[in-house]
A and B are shown apart, each in its own frame.
Chain A
């Protein structure tokens, strides 16, 4: 049986929702995507543990370092940076975009709620734009009670998604079924 997040991903917005913003699942997905080609990660919650991705890749490829080079990533620590990153992204056809823990920076209590809402709307527009070219998978985590004035952002995100996966309801990720080719396609 395959995981619901089977590859290739469609060009639409998918949301993974779960504790720790579904990080384990997102990083495993990043590893599997890296085996297939370039991908982009926008890390909004300091969750891009590349050691974990490397460990996942190790049994799947003879050259995990080369696969890690398929990943282009950047971290955002504020919601302003999230927006700047999306503006800088320039999505390319067939290059999936993973956005880790998107809501984290929008919960920053030093940013006014109205400001957060405004920035989040712009962010969603940026994501929507990216979806025209490539699959976008966004992860989010349950919000803490101190973030209650911003709960609507999560609802908004889920509403915009074509698919929402609550982490518990996802089937366990299945390892890639075939061994990856030893040589790249130019050798065939």
Chain B
């Protein structure tokens, strides 16, 4: 007798016997596990003799359901492709078998061979995490039919009520020895001591059974909480039931150090669960940016498992989406990209391989400036210009072919959903409870869109091609130039262009409606959506620190008419700036932002300086909490490889010597500047650091540098502030007359030579 029920898909994974197992949260709140056989098909192409040998090998293997010769479409080839099609009974067996196949037949070209079960299931049945499904299951809980009742592109998705358990130690295990574990579920909290392992494991098992959480959210779960709990459970000889699927052990994904976009990245070991999701908030790439709502949205649109969507980069999300699009459209997914760049001349390379367009800013302080942004410019160009590796590429943004390629086909619904969500956000009041959730979801979509352009040039992108990557920046430059010409024709002065944004001013244009006409015209001329980021009461474009005659792109701060600040390229935006410096610089900016217009600014300079002075006084008198002085910096190589160790490397070496803990390339190192030969102390071993050891001179210099970014437009430089910071005795003239002159001189300052340049790396190897 078959049973029908409806519920939300929470988890899906491969199983050696069942094919795949799926966990649902049913409409009435039950957590249900069902199974589904899932044969997997992959393809091989190449020389007939090799294919014959492969066929002979495969037909002897267990689990091979069928072998046949088919004609398929490789989008990178003009002619249809004869392939050997192999269907295997189970995803796990297919993975094992394919490993053997590619070892024995390395000269063949393979397709659809390494696609995750979630992506395949999504392509076949339209599922995705939180898909609301109607299922018909038999007595052995095997799915007979499955029907998805909602869509990845729903603007207001409905979720079930989740059961969430959070687990965290009482201190950072990197800095100290935790004594208890803190658990939280709904409004209830519990502390479980770690020194009674048997009690701890028993109690934890009871709680896991009572709560039966869908999500276990941890702090340091991957590298400390779960390994520690499993170790203790083993010690006391009791099984810890972290998985909902009781037949499974915790699955460990190995730690990884790799290069991405020229930077070394470290991904810690990951603990994956079955039937429920574990997310270590310290090891989830974008958690701080968009939290669980964003993770769920990312999993939904990319159709990756929730645990995976939480941990991998947005680039992996885009890759999964492209594979899904390909499968849905019967396009073969190559195992390895083999297509190479067409040979070009040196001149061609110079002409084509450029990044986004930049017009350097006119340095100084400007009043009543409008900032116009293109809405997701590069994704919009990819869609509008139909830029995809397998289709003819446009010169500009007019498409060279009609049928959408894999990349625009993938991006179009994503782009439209993001635009619609942004519209919703603009309409909803900030206090609306849905507003926060929509913001997180919109942020998740934003990151997917942000990386989609870079991904076209990424070395391992199955549907990437460097010429397509270049075509996007070419389109971007074209569009920005058209926008500039349009604005200038309408009497606006262009102060700065930066890839997808323009800063404009015009005599008499002082509020939003004064910019509406130019917005509409730019949109009409370019065919792309533009929005007014805001009108600045005033904005300061800063010059280079090394040479004040040289402007620097995207280094500015300003205040919009609603009083909100916008800051780019200065210390408060840098991740390696200590919190104390960030806070002080932000307070100084907030003080300046109280000026209602540029003429009122001089009145605020003394107050901003006072913020700086007070911060220094607090430092000298030891009133700055030590954790606010911590600097976080990346370790880029093995410690022994540093010839001239950076402060972070010196701190890491000390930590290794003192504790035996090694910082891997791609990991971050936290440290303090201290007096003495080394000049630094690792934060992880500074529990008992004597505050008298802090190198206050160094911190004064850091703060003076940050303060000078804020006060530079008013004629107060880094050297003056540094001197003042060290002595606090020299006279620092802050009289209004002088600042008044400065403001005027900045407003009317002589323009430096206009420099056009291009941002972005040459090519992109990921």
Contacts and interface: CB of A to CB of B under 8 A. Distances in A.
Genuine A/B complex? yes
Interface of A: 34, 40, 45-46, 48-51, 53-54, 65, 68-78, 80-81, 84-85, 88, 104-105, 108-110, 115, 118, 144-146
A34 B345 CA distance: 11
B256 to A, nearest CB: 7
Nearest to A80: B336
B466 interface: yes
B459 A77 contact: yes
A71 B341 contact: no
Contact of A48 (B258, B349, B460): B349
B762 interface: yes
15 contacts: A48-B346, A49-B762, A51-B350, A69-B347, A72-B343, A73-B345, A77-B466, A110-B258, A110-B460, A118-B106, A144-B641, A144-B665, A145-B637, A145-B638, A146-B264
B257 interface: yes
A113 to B, nearest CB: 13
A46 B762 contact: yes
Contacts of B762: 46, 49
Nearest to B257: A146
Given A46-B761, A105-B459, A68 B641 contact: no
Contacts of A50: 346-347, 349-350
Interface in B309-365: 336-347, 349-350
Given A77-B459, A78-B459, A85 B340 contact: yes
B765 A46 contact: yes
Interface of B: 106, 256-259, 264, 336-347, 349-350, 457, 459-460, 466, 637-638, 640-641, 665, 761-766
A145 B640 contact: yes
A74 B350 CA distance: 13
B641 A75 contact: no
A78 B336 contact: yes
Given A80-B336, A146-B257, A71 B763 contact: no
Contacts of A34: 346
A68 B344 contact: no
Given A46-B763, A49-B762, A75-B466, A54 B346 contact: yes
Given A80-B336, A109-B258, A73 B346 contact: yes
Nearest to A86: B340
Contacts of B349: 48, 50, 73
Contacts of B637: 144-146
Contact of B641 (A40, A108, A145): A145
Given A74-B341, A75-B763, A88-B340, A108 B346 contact: no
A69 B459 contact: no
B18 to A, nearest CB: 29
Contacts of B342: 74
Contacts of A88: 340
A14 B339 CA distance: 27
Sorted nearest first, the 8 A-B pairs with minimum C-beta distance are A68-B346, A77-B459, A71-B346, A145-B638, A50-B346, A77-B765, A68-B347, A74-B341
A69 B347 CA distance: 6
Nearest to B345: A69
A74 B465 CA distance: 12
B340 A76 contact: yes
A74 B344 contact: yes
B340 to A, nearest CB: 5
Nearest to B461: A77
Given A73-B349, A75-B466, A84-B339, 10 more contacts: A53-B346, A68-B346, A70-B345, A73-B345, A74-B340, A74-B341, A75-B763, A84-B340, A144-B637, A144-B641
B228 to A, nearest CB: 27
B85 to A, nearest CB: 23
Contacts of A51: 350
Given A65-B347, A69-B347, A45 B337 contact: no
Contacts of B344: 72-74
B689 to A, nearest CB: 31
A95 B343 CA distance: 15
Contacts of A115: 106
A53 to B, nearest CB: 6
Given A46-B763, A109-B257, A146-B638, A78 B343 contact: no
Nearest to B761: A46
B575 to A, nearest CB: 22
A124 to B, nearest CB: 16
A42 to B, nearest CB: 9
B350 A45 contact: no
A104 B766 CA distance: 12
Contacts of A71: 345-346
A88 to B, nearest CB: 7
Nearest to A69: B345
Nearest to A45: B765
A80 B342 CA distance: 15
A84 B346 contact: no
A84 B341 CA distance: 10
B350 A54 contact: yes
Contacts of B345: 68-73
A78 B665 contact: no
A78 B457 CA distance: 12
Contacts of A144: 637-638, 641, 665
A73 B345 CA distance: 6
